[in-house]
Chains A and B, each alone.
Chain A
Amino acid sequence: MIQFLLNDQPTALEHVAPSMSVLQYLRTVLVQVGTKEGCAAGDCGACTVVVGELTGDPQNPSLQYKAVNACITPMASLHGKQLITIEHLQHQGQLHPVQQAMVDCHGSQCGFCTPGIVMSLLAWWLGVQRGTAAPDRHGIELALSGNLCRCTGYQPIIQAAEQSLRLCQDHFLQHQQEVVQLLQAIQGTPGAESLRTERGFYRPGTASELARLLEAHPQAQLVAGATDLGLEFTQQLHQPSKLIYTGGVKELTQLQDTPDQVIIGAAVTYSSAQSTLHQHFPAFADLFNRLGSLQIRNQGTLGGNVANASPIGDTPPVLLALNATLKLTSIQGSRHVAIADFFTGYRQTVLRTGEFIEAIMIPKLKADETLQVYKISKRFEDDISAVCMAIWMRREHNVVQAVRIGCGGMAAIPKRAKATEQALLGKPFSETSINLAKQALAQDFQPIDDIRASAAYRLAVAGNLLTRAHLELNQQGVSLFAEAGGTSQ
């Protein structure tokens, strides 16, 4: 049984198919059609809904509001959460401040993307009121990063967002405490931690339960944010027999900041990890602003990104450069594997049947160590990398003592540029040695031509990113995005 709040109504559902998305539930089961389907792939944001979750001190939690794509969010993952839909924004016949501002600023034309935009702005507006979202233009751009509008050119929507902040009270804030209590009541339900539906959706509460479930159901698929798996259901029409949801596993959703490393549970979302990462690896955290959209970052997890073993995942190159370690767990116990040894081939890893990633352990930077991260893509936001490069170095008087360069988009797996590293090692990080190192890149990688970029471009740009790294370390104003007053990198 799944228990959640549909807006302010406690709702319990049985017999939900594992692949049933929130969007299908809203449109076909409830026939609440304000939420639109634009792409059914998490790419356009027309179906954006807001999910309220308890956060902070378990004794005295507060509500956190996140925009997510209803089209790829499994219904069963809503357990213990509040689902807010476009139908619930008006209060006593009045438009919500973000709705009124959208009307006043002419923020809609065809109107089809509008409910999704309004929901993204609602999550942002509530975030601003709670102090978790930035009220400036950058904050607005981030909030809208997963919402495509083909009519307006966004200008009036950005203006509407700015204008909506003239009001700072709404019915969500007013009724927050009641919602917290209702959600706490659901979480206190006995047996909640090993919840499952009849149709094969398992929701373990601990790592050992997860290990036991995987042992018992070796063919079951793990699902965290469903930002990739969800597409198999909506695009390939696959029907999974069994899904195990990791979002409720205590160990997998923890984030630990120890003196010498950051330990990120595999089911921690990008959004949840971002602020901790920003303290210790600002370049890594900045990358997140270009990784998927906000909706995807609110759902997607680092563990999923690594376990997927895609050659174009954005976190593996960084984890390679930082020499992260993975904690892999099964019913037999846990083992530690260096990230560099994890990927064995195109979408192949060392994960054994019944084994899962429990956590990612990232050593912190020391004073003489630097991390630089670059992403090249056609579009600035929410695009898959043509090339992603992360460079970790330890230098003494600019002489490279140690270096690791992780690359995505350059090979069938996320891969270190070993020959390039070798060419830089022991030499000053200078134009001369970089020019030599660029030649070594061709030994490391024979990239391919595909729809995102040609092999030649990938290789040439990868080389030039070393130049960019050098210029930036010498504090020469070469950062396009800093110069453009842009958002990151």
Chain B
Amino acid sequence: MSKAINGATGQSMQHESAVKHVTGEAVYVDDIPEPRQLLHAAVGHSPVARGKLLSMDLSAVLSAPGVAAVLTLNDIPGHTDIGPVFPGDPILADGEVKFHGQPLFAVAADTLDNARRAALLAQVEIEATAPLLDPEQAIAQNRTVRPVHTMQRGDAAGAIALAPHILEAKLSIGGQEHYYLEGQISMVAPTEDGGMQVWSSTQHPSEVQKLVAEELNLPIGAITVETRRMGGAFGGKETHAAQWACIAALLANKTKRPVKMRLPRAADMMLTGKRHPFENHYRVGFDDDGTLLGADITVIGNCGCSPDLSDAIVDRAMFHADNAYYLPAAKITGHRAYTNLVSLTAFRGFGGPQGMLIIEKAMDDIARALGKDPLEIRKRNLYRGPDRNVTPYHQTVASETLTKVIQELEISSDYWERRQAISDYNAGSPILKKGLALTPVKFGISFTVQHLNQAGALIHVYTDGSIHLNHGGTEMGQGLNTKVAQVVAEEFQVDLQHIHITATRTDKVPNTSPTAASSGADLNGQAAKDAARKIRQRLTEFLIEQRGAVTNSIKFTNNRVQFTDNTGTQSMSFAELTEAAYMARVSLSATGYYRTPKIHYDRSKASGRPFFYYATGAAVSEVLVDTLTGEYRVMRVDILHDVGRSLNPALDKGQVEGGFIQGMGWLTTEELRWDDQGRLMTTGAATYKIPTAADIPPIFNVALMENQPNEEATIYHSKAVGEPPFMLAISVWSALRDAISSVVDYAISPPLDTPATPERVFRAIQAAQQHLATTNNGGTAS
């Protein structure tokens, strides 16, 4: 196709809202002009993590200044449970308290301050019991939110038993707070027809629509949900945005007034889910070269107090416990522990990162055990055809792009030269130590819940040639709207400025899937393309049938259409064409639809092709560690990531960089702490530390694989990019382990749970030094 237009796919167009972002004109839910008589909502919290709710005296709340309504679970006319897949998430506590801070009741008042103050006035009686907080103890007691699940290929135990070398180890992996800068928020206004208009900061407007309908006993069609943009989401607004919309709708229904519900930051951190902490274990057998012969991996997801999305999240951890490596015989077991924490939820990577981390730990440990470079072990174990390319869930890894990625990155990052330089540096530096690591990512693309792999779009073309675009995906900063608009510009061959992007609305495109699983552009881009092609086809037919255009002569190019008729070559602008088609009574509006082909999976057999394809990439990180304190800096990062044929390289690069730094935060400074009563202690940015500008590596080279179109027929052969780069940050953790290992001349692989705070790094250094002392005193090395 011609590249003459401005904004075709493959061009680095700016984010559609960039100018609005920098001027403060971009409207988020809290910025929408407030309707008359608006009320503000707040919730009252449980002071304990576990117990029986005996009584609530809310009279003081109701009589507090400005209060218009107070309600509890009993006031809900319809469904009271908003669990997205399985029940377990009551809108307000249902007699049993399951986590600290759990909302017990809701209040609406004339001002936000009045609502929040009133919520503090309740007299609540709870018979408290000791909370269950330890996921391993939960599994031992058979306290789970969902049953255990296993994936198996070959005889892992047998293969390990026969292997020349066996290693096993445990790893505790911390959770992560999303810390989207815009907290959870919804505003709801009753409509004249007894329905509700909802403005919600959600990744899943259709789910919010359905849940509001169900709680109010209204048909889904009576509810409209609109999401123009979110101020960040990262999975935190996939299911956990719904509760606040539901509470606002209940209060709006009760008062017949519009209601806004916005969580203060501390409440947001206390009341909404996070990335699952995991307790993982591996046992692997390998040969003298470090080739894996068998692996038995167990992952325990700490799911908190309800199933939410945990079944799929732990499944995805299991799907990624191999990462990029062929396991000739494998058993992967996934547990879903129940604990008295807020229900843990989706977060960029959706369990994948926690699964990958355990096999990457094994790679490092095998290297130390054999005295080899970890990169050598990683490369040796990569999937490769024809007989080492089947995953533990029996999907064939058809592409070998990752091998190419690693080869190129090894060279572009000077891995081996730097490895030598670092060894030399460490030999001469007793206090400061450097570490280096290259880790790959292979991430499966598709929702593993099959029905979600569908999308819709709506396109209207007007008689001046302007185009209105709507689709089922939501914009959370990733640039989805920009990419989908580029697809439409490409299809019509008109400049991007003619495509008008509009808010996601459930009354424009119905029954949508969440914008999640990195699938936004894959699914909605295809749906929009389908809609555009339908209109283009009608325009083509119009030209043939009514303007005598020769079939196959019609060409949409550079904001015009050209064709040949019996008098010669004709050309008209796109606007002239649409005007003419309208006058000839041609429909200029179409819906588009897409469902992902080829995927199938039988969970009962843990076998099939859950993923349409894999997104891949690799990163090399270098760190500098102070062994006196455990403090460290990330000095240099080189990334090569495979996005297929990029729809927009600038936006894709932004996802890679941003995902990497977010992943680095997860593995380094971001530490969630709960006390022994199950109370979250890190409820603000003062105590929960996400990376700042000074934390990013001073040398940060990020490149996209060139000339590497997706082998599958995705939208213009691009690849999903939202989640996969997050896991490139595992290279930072591995580099820290490398630096720590240098203290004992790489003889052992000290354990390093995550997040690897300076304190944990320090403890790992101490463990290494103790090992050294023991060895020097004639003890035996392990």
Contacts and interface: CB of A to CB of B under 8 A. Distances in A.
A226 B631 CA distance: 31
Nearest to A24: B113
Contacts of B180: 110, 112, 150
Contacts of B264: 40, 235
Interface size class of A (residues with CB under 8 A): 35 or more
A102 B22 contact: yes
Contact of A155 (B12, B633, B657): B657
B449 interface: no
Given A44-B685, A155-B700, A382-B692, A103 B14 contact: yes
B629 A376 contact: yes
Interface stretch (B229-237, B326-334, B404-412, B569-577): B229-237
B24 A480 contact: no
B209 interface: no
Contacts of B692: 141, 144-145, 147-148, 154, 379-382
Interface string A448-465: 000111100100110011
Contacts of A99: 19, 22-23
Given A379-B689, A380-B695, A37 B30 contact: yes
B23 A95 contact: yes
A9 to B, nearest CB: 17
Interface in A428-477: 451-454, 457, 460-461, 464-465, 467-468, 471, 476-477
Max chain A Cβ within 10 angstroms of own Cβ: one of B231, B633, B669, B700: B231
A184 B178 CA distance: 46
Contact of A465 (B33, B265, B629, B632): B629
A39 to B, nearest CB: 4
Contacts of A151: 232, 477, 654, 658
B757 interface: yes
B657 A152 contact: yes
B658 A379 contact: no
A302 interface: no
A379 B21 contact: no
B272 interface: no
Nearest to A478: B431
A108 B693 contact: no
A41 B265 contact: yes
Contact of A39 (B25, B631, B685, B700): B685
Interface string A96-137: 000100111011111111110010000000000000000001
A147 B693 contact: yes
A140 B629 contact: no
A66 interface: no
Interface string A58-100: 0000000000000000000000000001110110000100010
A34 B113 contact: no
B716 interface: no
Interface residue SS majority, chain B? loop
A272 interface: no
A152 B654 contact: yes
Given A44-B685, A86-B24, A483-B624, A109 B694 contact: no
A367 interface: no
Interface in A10-63: 31, 33-41, 43-44, 46
A487 interface: yes
B660 A153 contact: yes
Given A106-B14, A153-B657, A235-B266, A467 B234 contact: no
B608 interface: no
A380 B624 CA distance: 14
Interface stretch (B210-218, B287-295, B758-766, B770-778): B758-766
Contacts of B658: 109, 150-153
Interface size class of B (residues with CB under 8 A): 35 or more
B252 interface: no
A145 B693 contact: yes
A33 B616 CA distance: 41
A216 interface: no
A2 B117 CA distance: 28
A237 B116 contact: yes
Given A115-B24, A378-B669, A465-B629, A150 B624 contact: no
Given A36-B231, A111-B231, A383-B689, A378 B762 contact: no
Interface residue SS majority, chain A? loop
Interface string B446-484: 000000000000000000000000000000111100000
A460 B761 CA distance: 13
B31 interface: yes
Max chain B Cβ within 10 angstroms of own Cβ: one of A34, A37, A151: A151
B19 A103 contact: yes
B18 A157 contact: no
B694 A380 contact: yes
Contacts of B429: 477
B60 interface: no
A378 B693 contact: no
Nearest to B680: A451
Given A89-B23, A144-B692, A148-B179, A467 B673 contact: no
Interface in B680-714: 681-682, 684-687, 689-696, 698, 700, 702
B15 A44 contact: no
Contact of A141 (B14, B230, B693, B700): B693
Contact of A108 (B21, B629, B630): B21
Given A34-B25, A38-B182, A150-B234, A156 B698 contact: no
A481 interface: yes
Interface in B172-198: 178-183
Contact of B684 (A43, A90, A107, A378): A43
Contacts of A154: 661, 691-693, 696
B673 A451 contact: yes
B438 interface: no
B18 A384 contact: no
A148 B181 contact: yes
B73 interface: no
A156 B696 CA distance: 12
Contacts of B599: none
B422 interface: no
Interface in B108-157: 113, 116-117, 120
Given A46-B181, A110-B180, A487 B624 contact: no
A215 B392 CA distance: 77
A485 interface: yes
A110 B682 contact: no
B601 interface: no
B662 interface: yes
A259 interface: no
Max chain B Cβ within 10 angstroms of own Cβ: one of A41, A140, A487: A41
A31 B662 CA distance: 33
A384 B266 CA distance: 18
A35 B673 CA distance: 31
Given A156-B654, A381-B694, A108 B624 contact: no
3 nearest CB pairs, A to B: A34-B24, A112-B231, A110-B477
Given A112-B180, A141-B693, A155-B702, 20 more contacts: A34-B23, A36-B182, A36-B231, A37-B30, A108-B17, A110-B182, A112-B477, A115-B23, A144-B694, A148-B690, A152-B654, A152-B658, A153-B657, A380-B695, A453-B759, A471-B431, A476-B431, A480-B625, A480-B626, A481-B633
9 contacts: A34-B25, A36-B28, A38-B265, A95-B19, A109-B232, A114-B21, A153-B657, A155-B696, A477-B429
Interface of A: 31, 33-41, 43-44, 46, 85-87, 89-90, 95, 99, 102-104, 106-115, 118, 137, 140-141, 144-145, 147-158, 235, 237, 376-384, 386, 451-454, 457, 460-461, 464-465, 467-468, 471, 476-478, 480-481, 483-487
Interface of B: 12, 14-15, 17-28, 30-31, 33, 113, 116-117, 120, 178-183, 229-234, 264-266, 429, 431-432, 476-479, 624-626, 628-633, 635, 650-651, 653-654, 657-662, 669, 671, 673, 681-682, 684-687, 689-696, 698, 700, 702, 757-759, 762-763, 766
